[in-house]
A and B are shown apart, each in its own frame.
Chain A
Amino acid sequence: MATVVRSQPQRVDQPSESGQRELVTKKKANTEWHSGCRLLHSQGTSSDFERVTNFVGIIQHPDNRLQAVQAPACEACLKSEQKETTMKHLTVLLCASASALLVAAPTASAQPQSITVAWYGGNWGDAFQACVATPFTEATGIQVVADIGTSTTTLAKLQQQASAPTLDVAYMDGGISELAEEAGVLAAIDLDALPNGANLTDDAAYRNGNKVFAIGGGYYSLGLTYNTEEIGEAPTSWEALWDEDYAGAVTIPSPNNSAGIPFIFFLNQMMGGTPDDFTQTFERLKELDVASYFESSGAANNAFQSGEVVIGAHFNVGAWALIDSGLPIGFTVPSEGVWATDARLHIVEGGPNPEGAAQFLDMAMSAEAAACLAETLYLGPAVSEVELDPEVSRKLPWGQNGSVEDLMFFDWNEVNARRAELTETWNREIAR
């Protein structure tokens, strides 16, 4: 049954080349939709029919908008069709035009039929699609429209659209999440109302007073990454970055990367500095002979891949992707620990489908989704009771034998408050 259902939006997605493209596509869409309806009706029980109509009723327009068509329209058409079998052709046409009107009208259905989710590009977006969005659509019948962007562009979008948001759910990294909350673009998440809400570990519910404004979607860390051909044994300390043998072949994040400023906090803490005094850390950073300060995870990947960089700080997600592709790269959690953060989910304040958004978050908190993300991206689960293969477990942000307890987190409000100042210091002392 599912195969019949799923084929609907895909088939109608093909735009006709004629001048009246839209009209023809609409007609075609509705004809297709009806045949789907009929098939399901003849096959399934009535309750099945009720359940799947939500799903069948979504028609993708040539302009890529998803529109909902209500079940009664479908049933009315089917009835008239049964009555007038001899005039089948005409009925289909009439039904098609009637439904075309419905399709053209704005979504007025009580049940939300599609939600828009902002997430990151590349393998991250693919993983969110496969692990959260697809199972979500299969379970609820609600389609997911992806809006791809980085955390900061998503925040900018949310601020611009504050009065009339088009997004329902937004993935944003820790740090940007707090900025979004400060900007007042996030809705409260009612964890008690969500069946999977109890799965979420307490630390992964981010609160502002009593309001839960974000939930963790999986942890990732910035650990020590190195070239195993050049460095035989895994370094045990971050001090290896200053090793003379690797001079000129080191990389660490630039402040333009979301991990840049927190990494300075991390180094500062490691070197025994206080949060008020970063002098010593900047002195040590000046001594560090780097090949580059990476702005994006992709740039770091490239640098390790080309051998431009032999050792550096890199995300477990990117490093393991390189290792899995057969490159001589190692990822390790040194004795001083690793700084970590997470990708979080947020419900957009005033978004078009708050109920659908809540259901999406519920799916993200399921053990299956968390296990899937751990297997594809090596994101550390933020929900309890996730069973993982040992091969996957060792690639998680906390390393071989660790757990979320071993990760080092900083108060993002504190980091954000110092962001401008530390970036400026970096500009003046390091990047010149």
Chain B
Amino acid sequence: MTASRTALIGLIALPLAFSCAFFLVPLATVFAASVTSADGAGLTFASYARILFDEYHWSVMAVTFRLGILTTLICVVIGYPLAWYLVRIVRWRSWRRICVILLILPLFTSNIVRSFGWMVLLGRNGLVNETLESVGLIERPMRFLGTETGILIGLVYILLPFVVLTVGNALAKVDRSVEHASADLGASPASTFWHVTFPLSVPGVVSGAIIVFALAVSAYVTPALLSGGRVTVLAVLVFQQYSTVFDFHYGGALAITLLAFTLAMIGLSSLVSNRGAR
């Protein structure tokens, strides 16, 4: 009895200590910096006031969250059919396995390398522009780098696997007998999908969307590389304050603001999806 209790405490204490050391303590440090002033005069919300009562910061947040929401939507729209293909259409086991490996493989490479890859592809003389020109879709090279479109392409590419994996998992768990029952009761395949399968896969979609959204709004490397310094997102602004301006108070406040808004967005979306599910 006591042995198992000790084991249980150990089981809880370990992750708790880990998250304290590597998550809560750094976060508390950032928060503490954000509510103090440079002269160390004590508690102040000046950094937050500077952010919240300034149109510029709202425009940066708008860019950040626009990119986050669009990335999430596109990932879900592309990712759902991909997951469906993987789970429902592929019959041949080996091929499915190959598909899953292909899906996961890019995750083993660093974001920096993959973003650099897109810099090459999306450049003025890059493969994308050359292909579009050769098929006659465009006459002059399109500008992708240094635009939100370029960042969006990079983010979707990097974050898509997360949606496919979570949705695929949810789809695999849907009880096929429920679908058979729906068909037996006279529902068309489309109707079965919309009224039975899709609602049952919604939790997977929501969790995938939350992961993608959180990663997209906090992404630094991809926007930094693909924006060419012309589009500013919050994470880039935070990095700039920390590493080149050395204003930890303002940088900290920016980081906490990003965190607060992201949590609020995630909270709101899960609230809405819960309502929808009911």
Contact = CB atoms under 8 A, between A and B. Distances in A.
B239 A431 contact: no
Contacts of A419: 244-245
Interface string B44-58: 000000000000100
Interface residues of B, number: 29
B229 A294 contact: yes
Interface string B109-142: 0000000100110011110000000000000000
Contact of A152 (B124, B225, B232, B244): B244
A30 interface: no
A308 interface: yes
B99 interface: no
Contacts of B245: 419-420, 423
A302 B246 CA distance: 28
Contacts of B237: 427
Nearest to B54: A428
A179 B125 contact: no
A432 interface: yes
Contact of B243 (A152, A248, A307, A420): A152
Given A290-B230, A431-B229, A256 B244 contact: yes
Interface in B58-108: 59-60
A26 B19 CA distance: 36
Contacts of B119: 302, 306
Contacts of A293: 228-230
B149 interface: no
B243 A256 contact: yes
A264 to B, nearest CB: 13
Given A432-B59, A432-B232, A308 B124 contact: yes
Contacts of B228: 290-294
B124 A295 contact: no
Interface of B: 56, 59-60, 116, 119-120, 123-126, 143, 145-146, 224-225, 228-232, 236-237, 239-240, 243-247
Given A256-B229, A419-B244, A427-B232, 16 more contacts: A152-B243, A179-B246, A248-B124, A254-B229, A256-B240, A260-B244, A291-B228, A294-B228, A294-B229, A302-B116, A419-B245, A420-B247, A423-B240, A423-B245, A427-B237, A431-B232
